[in-house]
Amino acid sequence: MEPALPVTTKKTLCRICTANCPILVDVDATGRPIAARGDKDNPHSEGFFCLKGKHYPEIHTADSRLHHSLARGADGALAPIEAERAMDEVAARLGAILDEHGRESVAVYMGTLFYQLPQTASVATAWMDALRLRLRFSSGTIDQPGKQTAAAAHGHWLAGNYVFDESDTWMLIGTNPLIAISGGIPHANPARRLKRAQARGLQLIVIDPRRTETAKHAAIHLQPRPGTDPAIVAGLIREIIRADLVDAEFVRDHVDGFETLRDAVDPYTPEYVAARADVDPEALVRAAHVFARAKKGAATAGTGANMSGWSNVTEYLVLCLNTICGHYRRAGDRVANPGVLTTRRSFPAQAMAPYPVDGFGKPLVSRPDLPPAVCGLPTSALADEILHPESTIKALVTIGGNPMRAWPDPKRTRRALEALDLHVCVEPRLTDTARLADYVLAPKLPLETPGCSLSTENLFTVSPALGYTERYGQYAPAVAAPPEGADLREDWQYFYGLAKRMGLALEVGAGVFPIMGCRTPRSALDMQNEPTSDEILDLVTKDSWIPLDRLRKDPSQVLFEDEPDVFVAPADPESRARLDVGSALMLDELRDFAAGDRFARPGFDYRLVSRRMSNTFNSMGTDIEALTSRYGTNPAFLHPEDLRALGLARGDLVKLRSPHGELEAVAWPDPDLRRGLVSMCHCWGTDPEAESDVRKTGANTGLLISVEEDCARFSGIPLMSAIPVDVARA
Ligand SMILES: Nc1nc2c(c(=O)[nH]1)N[C@H]1C(S)=C(S)[C@@H](COP(=O)(O)OP(=O)(O)OC[C@H]3O[C@@H](n4cnc5c(=O)[nH]c(N)nc54)[C@H](O)[C@@H]3O)O[C@H]1N2
Ligand SMILES: Nc1nc2c(c(=O)[nH]1)N[C@H]1C(S)=C(S)[C@@H](COP(=O)(O)OP(=O)(O)OC[C@H]3O[C@@H](n4cnc5c(=O)[nH]c(N)nc54)[C@H](O)[C@@H]3O)O[C@H]1N2
Ligand code: SF4
Ligand SMILES: [Mo]
């Protein structure tokens, strides 16, 4: 018997999802990661992690992982290619396309992993900037794009919101943080944090058509018809105004448009909301009172509230709800977490005025109705844009995303990807998307690269309920070696390598997401001598609250509560900026909503609602048996009574048909659902043109989504939840 190799245990952070859980990874003498678990000594997470994190090493060592980049040969097949040669060829081909067709000939798609890796986000963005690429698309516009449009129409409160850990109430609308661990409740051990908060009196309000893992802990759970969030939030606002619970002083000093808002929500009486959303009118009134009477708290919406047709107005009303209750930090308040790795800034108790929602350049040729908006170009239109006869797009670069699984309408996506002259994917697996690419640039994976918690910390800019609620930061060096014999680069090195070959000078900015009201430093990269990954991290954390080097030198220090406290500063007396709760642009949408259920279609009597499953992250993990064994697939969950009425039992195959498309799925009972719903997770399935066994591959709910009808203004987010469907035995 061979002697067992010695194993060392290393501290690092999981980078599958935004929780960025601190984990311990066992690594053998060859550098191969073999096991992972939560770091019980980490005072922030207290050992919290999930099954995906447990199998993080396997994601690094799975047979399905690419050890080499791939290029499509003359025979049409993908074959291994040396990384340097791949960069030579990609640079030459992109350069030729740009020379011939101009900068609108190359589009980029940035998926979830793009933002999770600060080096990738910063250097790839620097490369796009240097090429002045305009056609940048991201998963953001098929996620929660109403957050950006609403914030633009409303303005920002520069002192920020109260955080969960200090709040007396918390409202979650279409988000399930105990499973998605995606913010709303702090990422680090959300169940324990919720329990502690409730022990000190926090009142949790959840609005979700499913009695979710989170809703089960709520003081008040409204379980509405999906797609009715505008009615509910308008109803809450109306009741708060009626009961005289508005923070009148805050509104007087800092808010415009109050009368407009009051008039717009006036029709949303408890009786009307009860009829439209099918909720208990008394529970609605109670929720309004609990929320408005609390000293500190916030409301936040998630994907369910953004995917069900009313992304802009729902997010806008959520901001208005927080604002009329004055649920913001005031001068003199301690800022719970000013920051660790983000740029230093001040927190004045003043508004930043609203700014334009749209009008950022010319629309896509395929969607003249969607002028480019603050949320970015509409990803739902990218396939059509590529396929349009007047399309300028010849090449697409996909980074850390999986369009074939994630974009709505995978059949159209497939046609579009095949129509490209050049498709380059930076991707560690041979995904359905990578299989269609001309080049797959294979990256090192996060355990093989240094990393830090910057991306997650920086999320506070996206929504008040995201980011860390305490002064927490973590750095980790590379802890594992790439597989033996592999020829890989870090993601960012591919963009640096392309830039060098294309004669570009790169300049990286600090941070991953822009911080409102704060200029972040920019630094030129040395284009002669390639920087190290750690040097890139230094630049993206330049001028941070705590120098990254301090985290590097003492990895055991992750909480920085001993740093001097930061307090909210008084407003600049010169500032005249006010928040706007009466935006015509947003409230027009409430009038559209009032006109009736515009998404209903006769003959499609069920509604398919979005959800996440705990053991997979979008398309990641759907190919790892240990993560899929619970259901084997992404089942179509239905209420047991609905199953019975349909003559179906657990495990039977059902056919779901929307006005746009159809799929087969495995039926599964879920007593926590409202009747009349099908709840199903996305990013499963396989090549829609190939035969497959749905019990093994699952089904892609994108097949039911139309990218032509029912797309929201500005972002073009299609109806991705509350989709009318017909359900029948397959
Ligand atoms: N029907 C329906 N569709 C949806 C949704 C829904 O609810 N319903 N949800 C939407 C949402 S919210 C989102 S965010 C999108 C997700 O959209 P995408 O981001 O496009 O999808 P992911 O599966 O997250 O893609 C991440 C990819 O990154 C790869 N990856 C992993 N590690 C690394 C790495 O270190 N470097 C690089 N370069 N790549 C890596 C993974 O293998 C994976 O292929 O899907 C959207 N689509
Ligand atoms: N385990 C796991 N974690 C993930 C992901 C994953 O795939 N798996 N994906 C990550 C990504 S990309 C994102 S964006 C986040 C998303 O994080 P969340 O937004 O929290 O996503 P979900 O857990 O799907 O929660 C959405 C909830 O909305 C409800 N819902 C559906 N339609 C409606 C509606 O019309 N109105 C209301 N009020 N509710 C509705 C659903 O029942 C569901 O409980 O999660 C991230 N975290
Ligand atoms: S919650 Fe997210 S970051 Fe934490 S272990 Fe699971 S996948 Fe990794
Ligand atoms: Mo997402």
> Tell me: the pLDDT tens digits for 421-433?
999 999 999 999 9
What is the greatest pairwise CA distance in the chain?
Answer: 81
Our answer on whether the CB atom of 413 is closer than 6 Å to any ligand 2 atom is no
CA of 594 to the centre of ligand 3 (A): 40
Delineate the domains of the chain, giving CATH numbers in brackets.
Answer: 68-135+393-563 (3.40.50.740), 150-353+578-591 (3.40.228.10), 599-729 (2.40.40.20)
Please tell me the distance from the alpha carbon of residue 270 to that of residue 570, in angstroms, as a whole number: 38
Model confidence at 496: pLDDT above 70: yes
Mean pLDDT of 152-170: 96
Please tell me the distance from the alpha carbon of residue 447 to that of residue 450, in angstroms, as a whole number: 7
Confidence (pLDDT) at 641: 98
Mean pLDDT of 266-285: 98
CA of 609 to the centre of ligand 3 (A): 24
Candidate from 213, 311, 612 with most ligand 2 atoms within 8 A of CB, to mutate: 612
Confidence (pLDDT) at 703: 98
Confidence (pLDDT) at 704: 98
Confidence (pLDDT) at 382: 98
Are 517 and 547 contacting, i.e. CB atoms less than 8 angstroms apart?
no
Mean pLDDT of 218-228: 98
Mean pLDDT of 691-710: 95
DSSP secondary structure of 464-509: TT-S-SSSB--EE---SPPPTT---B-HHHHHHHHHHHTT---EEE
Per-residue confidence band for 2, with pLDDT thresholds at 50, 70 and 90:
low
318, two tokens: 């959520």
Model confidence at 516: pLDDT above 90: no
Mean pLDDT score of the chain: 97
Measured from the Cα of 618, ligand 2's closest atom is 7
175 three-class SS? coil
Confidence (pLDDT) at 1: 58
Measured from the Cα of 683, ligand 2's closest atom is 7
With residue 136 as reference, give the H or E element that holds it. strand 136-138
CA of 56 to the centre of ligand 3 (A): 9
Confidence (pLDDT) at 6: 87
Residue whose structure tokens are 């990384």: 83
Which residues sit with their C-beta closer than 6 Å to ligand 3? 14, 16-17, 19-21, 49-50, 52-53, 181
Which residues have beta carbons under 5 A from ligand 4 (an ion)? 143
Mean pLDDT of 498-519: 94
Residues 6+ apart with CB under 8 A from 227: 308, 309, 310, 597, 599, 607, 721, 722
Are 684 and 405 contacting, i.e. CB atoms less than 8 angstroms apart?
yes
Measured from the Cα of 309, ligand 2's closest atom is 35
Model confidence at 211: pLDDT above 70: yes
Nearest to 350 by CA among 517, 202, 199: 517
Please tell me the distance from the alpha carbon of residue 684 to that of residue 695, in angstroms, as a whole number: 11
Phi and psi at 563, nearest 5°, equal: -60, 155
Q: What percent of the chain has pLDDT over 70?
A: 99
**Other residues' Cβ atoms within 10 Å of the Cβ of residue 396:** 24
Per-residue confidence band for 517, with pLDDT thresholds at 50, 70 and 90:
confident
Are 405 and 413 contacting, i.e. CB atoms less than 8 angstroms apart?
no
CA of 612 to the centre of ligand 4 (A): 10
398, two tokens: 């996909």
205 three-class SS? strand
Q: Which residue has the higher pLDDT, 666 or 371?
A: 666
In this structure, which residue's CA is closest to atom 17 in ligand 1?
Answer: 406
Confidence (pLDDT) at 183: 83
Confidence (pLDDT) at 433: 98
Per-residue confidence band for 558, with pLDDT thresholds at 50, 70 and 90:
very high
> Tell me: the pLDDT tens digits for 5-19?
789 999 999 999 999
Confidence (pLDDT) at 3: 62
> Tell me: the pLDDT tens digits for 244-272?
999 999 999 999 999 999 999 999 999 99
Please tell me the distance from the alpha carbon of residue 203 to that of residue 35, in angstroms, as a whole number: 38
Residues of the chain by 3-state class (helix, strand, coil), percent to 5 = 35, 20, 50
Please tell me the distance from the alpha carbon of residue 360 to that of residue 15, in angstroms, as a whole number: 33
Phi and psi at 331, nearest 5°, equal: -50, 130
Confidence (pLDDT) at 541: 98
Q: What percent of the chain has pLDDT over 90?
A: 96
Per-residue confidence band for 636, with pLDDT thresholds at 50, 70 and 90:
very high
Phi and psi at 576, nearest 5°, equal: -110, 5
100, two tokens: 């011939």
Using alpha carbons, list the distances in angstroms from residue 84 to 106, 504, 727.
21, 17, 51
Confidence (pLDDT) at 462: 86
With residue 316 as reference, give the H or E element that holds it. helix 311-324
DSSP 8-state code for residue 383:
H
Handedness of CA 681, 683, 686, 688 (dihedral sign): positive
